[in-house]
Amino acid sequence: MIARSPLIGAAELCSKLGEVVVVDCRFSLAEPDLGVAHYTTEHIVGAHYCHLEHDLSAPVAGGAAINRGRHPLPEAATFCGVMAALGIGRDTPVVAYDDSGLAFASRLWWMLNALGYTQVQVLDGGWSAWQELGLATTAVKPEIRPVTAHSAVKYAGIVEFPELSDLQAAGARLIDAREPARYRGELEPIDPVAGHIPGAVNYPWQEATDATGRALPIAEQRERWQQLEASEKLIVYCGSGVTACVNILSLVLAGRDDALLYPGSWSDWCARLPNG
Active-site positions read: 238
Are 48 and 42 in contact by the 8 Å Cβ rule? The answer is no
Single-letter amino acid code for the residue at 77: A
Are 226 and 263 in contact by the 8 Å Cβ rule? The answer is no
The CA–CA distances, whole Å, from 4 to 10, 66, 109, 120, 192 equal: 17, 32, 12, 8, 39
Q: Of all helices (H) and strands (E), which one includes residue 234?
A: strand 234-237
Axis crossing angle, helix 103-114 with helix 244-253, rounded to the nearest 10: 70
Are 114 and 156 in contact by the 8 Å Cβ rule? The answer is yes
Q: Is 162 helix (H, G, I), strand (E, B) or coil?
A: helix
